[in-house]
């Protein structure tokens, strides 16, 4: 029997506390076998979150926006209007208890969705998230091409059910990222689809995410490797 995944979409800005409470309840219900898996697409009002590896010195403007510590992996990140957040509540008991494989699937999912807009997203060893090269920008001091982050990934597991997930920059206010060192990485910047010159909307990205989710997770999420 095909596993059911419920897609939830919120048009309003969802307060972070509300999102956390919903995920806690849904993840518990999934673990008990009382609810379907879910993907929740939403936006938040401007805020910063601190992952379990966050360093206090990377919060450069602590009074700018509310700061939350949700217990997910990673360091500091920003959420706000114009950024698509996808909270991923999947049962890894049925999809293979392999955290590294699961994170790779999420990366592949983001990369495949970006490719729908002719954006080449890439992952880098030692750097969390999805990156794009910027040949249109001045090179780094060592002569290498500049790379900007376009998507963040941070997950948490409880009883092998995932929550939190991914965020992709469509058209957020990029100046809001200056209050933190995103993911603790000082040598590179942040970009968005609109910043890359693409007239992409949140609805456009949502359609790509839904299409590519079925392809990337078609095997139930039990195998890893590079996705064509």
Q: Give the active site residues.
A: 183
Between the CA of residue 171 and those of 123, 151, 208, what are the distances in Å? 21, 12, 16
Number of other CB atoms surrounding residue 4 within 10 Å: 9
**Is the distance from CB of 129 to CB of 149 less than 8 angstroms?**
yes
Half-sphere exposure of 47 (CA within 13 A, CB side): 17
| Residue whose C-alpha is closest to residue 202's, from 11, 20, 5, 8 | 11
**Is the distance from CB of 92 to CB of 157 less than 8 angstroms?**
yes
């Amino acid at each position: 029997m095909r596993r059911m995944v419920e897609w939830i979409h919120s048009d309003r800005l969802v307060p972070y506390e509300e999102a956390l409470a919903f995920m806690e309840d849904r993840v518990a219900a999934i673990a008990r076998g009382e609810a379907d898996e879910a993907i929740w697409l939403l936006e938040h009002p401007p805020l910063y979150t601190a992952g379990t590896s966050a360093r206090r010195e990377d919060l450069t403007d602590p009074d700018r926006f509310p700061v939350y510590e949700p217990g997910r992996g990673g360091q500091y990140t920003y959420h706000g209007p114009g950024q698509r957040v996808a909270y991923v509540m999947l049962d890894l008991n049925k999809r293979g208890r392999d955290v590294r494989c699961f994170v790779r699937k999420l990366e592949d999912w983001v990369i495949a969705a970006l490719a729908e807009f002719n954006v080449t997203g890439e992952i880098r060893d030692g750097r969390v998230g999805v990156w794009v090269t910027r040949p249109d920008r001045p090179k780094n001091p060592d002569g290498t091409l500049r790379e900007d982050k376009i998507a963040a990934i941070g997950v948490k597991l409880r009883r092998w059910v995932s929550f939190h997930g991914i965020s992709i920059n469509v058209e957020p206010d990029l100046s809001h990222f200056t209050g933190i060192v995103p993911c603790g990485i000082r040598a590179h910047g942040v970009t968005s689809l609109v910043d890359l010159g693409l007239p992409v909307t949140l609805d456009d990205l949502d359609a790509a995410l839904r299409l590519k989710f079925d392809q990337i997770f078609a095997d139930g999420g039990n195998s890893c490797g590079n996705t064509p």
